[in-house]
Amino acid sequence: MPSTIRDVAKQAGVGLGTVSRVINGSPQVSAETRERVLSAIAALNFIPNPTARRLSLGKTLTIAAIVPWFTRPAEVERLRGVENTLAESEYDLVLYNVETPEKRDTYFRDVPRSERADGVLIVSLSPRDDDVEQLAHSTVPIVLVDANHPSLKSLNRVITDDVAGGYAATRHLIDLGHTCIGYISDPLETPFNFTSSRDRMQGYRQALTAAGVPIRSDYYRQGEHGRYEARRLASEMLQLPERPTAIFAASDTQALGVLEAAQDRNLRVPEDLSVIGYDDIEISEYIGLTTIRQMLYESGKRGVELLLEVLEAPATKPIYEVLPTELIARKTTAAPGI
């Protein structure tokens, strides 16, 4: 049984208020008394009970992070930014991992409550129309990381400009001389409401339109996230009479599937087919994959920093930060053959 603040007070021969003041560094304590209290604390190996502290302060000293499958390398990297930044603060991190649509809805409803957390970080899960109102009225500060919503003027958020990223990827292929450019992505509509694939596609279309390249619907396929499905989709696309000479995949993981499909059909990369991904996960450099790098670690870090700032001093208006993307040209893209 751990010792309490009252044990310390008795041991040091002071009142409990004084012990509390010493713990919290109040200047209202004489040097001599402080010394006595500190040695009593050391003697009893006393550590203040965080639960009692929380109840008394009316704060949970906890930040909740709602994150979809943290198996995905990109999400893990964001989370690492969150964890590292939070470790230096007095806040604990509690994880809510979303692997099903039901969990998403449960967590959206139950987690942003002042009894559970002082602040909530929602990562890569964009609110839907009916969520927005609810979240906006939450008494708990919320920061969205890599999540967006067109009508979302009322929530703080740190996003990557995925439209610009999609544009840059497509533009890179156009600049190399490609005009037959495919796009392979996860489903644009899911119960999770990820928006990144939609935004990247929008960038893709804008780049094509700006360059005067017609948009062909058979150059676009969507399917479950993951290598296998991407491989299947790419295979289909590569069997078209007029097959694309370049494919833009909505993530590096999916780009790996496209590379497999090329191999299946004996197409050389980049001579016969250029491939560009998105994220710049660790393995991409190993493969030599051309990709769009986004600031994953920083997005988590900035999200937490914003949240902590808002907790200190509630912001007058919602904060909106955009992180840049960067084209990393490696070995899987080149001018189209012949």
Residue 311 makes contact with DNA by CB under 7 A: no
Site for its own copies in 148-167 (CB under 8 A): none
Residues in the chain: 338
CB 269 within 8 A of CB 241: no
What is the pairing mode between strands 246-249 and 220-222? unpaired
Rounded Cα–Cα distance for residues 214 and 191 (Å):
31
Q: Which of the choices its own copies, DNA, none does residue 266 contact, using the CB cut-off of 5 to 8 A by kind?
A: none
Sequence letter at residue 177: G
Sequence letter at residue 53: R
- Report phi then psi at 225, rounded to 5: -60, 145
Mark 210-249 with x for binding to its own copies (rule: CB under 8 A) and - for no binding.
-----------------x----------------------
Among 43, 47, 188, 240, binds its own copies (CB under 8 A): 47
CB of 126 to its own copies, least distance (A): 22
Residue 55 makes contact with DNA by CB under 7 A: yes
C-alpha distance from residue 187 to each of 121, 190, 199 (Å): 24, 6, 12
Helix (H) or strand (E) holding 95: strand 92-98
Q: Which of the choices DNA, its own copies, none does residue 30 contact, using the CB cut-off of 5 to 8 A by kind?
A: DNA
* CB nearer its own copies, residue 145 or residue 164: 145
Give me the half-sphere count of Cα atoms (radius 13 Å) on the Cβ side of residue 7.
15
CB of 51 to DNA, least distance (A): 7
Sheet strands side by side (includes 246-249): 220-222, 181-185, 246-249, 274-276
Interface residue list for DNA (CB under 7 A): 1-2, 4-6, 13-18, 20-21, 23-24, 27-30, 32-33, 46, 48-49, 52-53, 55-58
Interface residue list for its own copies (CB under 8 A): 2, 47-52, 54-55, 60, 70-71, 73, 76-77, 79-80, 83-84, 87, 92-95, 97, 99, 103, 110, 113-116, 227, 256, 260, 283, 286
